[in-house]
Structure 1
């Protein structure tokens, strides 16, 4: 079978056009992107003066900050699958207020106000926490308080998230502007 020169040129043009079209279409196809793993961002937030803060870091190791003054934050920049723990105690003999919170996606999930000591834990898998806080009694003495409640005093949280307990037992999630007070819970 002998093909004419014109038939060969037509077939060559056809195949080149087909090849060029295939290259063009394959270059326009979207490449699959690796899925981005979403995770819940946890953080600690503490406010106290002259206190020692011990906490579990992102590697599940205990770290300690000595003589903290003012607000302290620690944010986890990766997925957390272990129990978070935060322990704060004053380094002065005078009574002092301690505000200790655990945040999830910038909203308070556990924490409260105590006096001189606070120990809080939060299980990230079960979404529950425990707390023990020093409390100011009517006679002026200190005693521990369990369960995350504030058993005395008249201080108001100045966390960046309100964090006050609401009527249903949960926590208020309103963001406090400029570190001020959450006006709904004065």
Structure 2
């Protein structure tokens, strides 16, 4: 049983290093930055206004349910991050430098990924199932965070589970 975590850590580090090599290419770096920045939060704040163009009632419901989900998700995210206290890749992998400066010290879970998966889950649950196609974008956000050198793949996986899990739970309770 002891070999599993070592193997997982080896895979985590290997993937971070492989993504860092890819990020050395200007086009990859630009795409990683664009995807990562798209999940900085501004899109989440603007979305109820965009929904209101189609339906004020749907926008109010979306705002209420999504707001509750984000309060819960951010609380869990902060608690997990500050309990696990996992160092970011540049602090653990000699010679690795991140392309961006992270907003906080620890890496598990990925907050950008968690927020992106929560947002897509709420869109699909509150508005229309076709919004589930947004999981492709959310996965790209997670991939970008590894490519930028601020997360391990397991941080991204944990963020995806957290965001999706909270979204489904809140939507199931409030809708």
- TM interval, shorter chain, is under 0.3
Structure with the greater relative contact order (CA < 8 A, sep ≥ 6): 1 or 2?
2
Per the normalisation by structure 1, the TM-score is 0.23
TM-score by length of 2: 0.24
Max Rg structure = 1
Higher strand share: 1
Indicate the structure with greater helix content.
Answer: 2
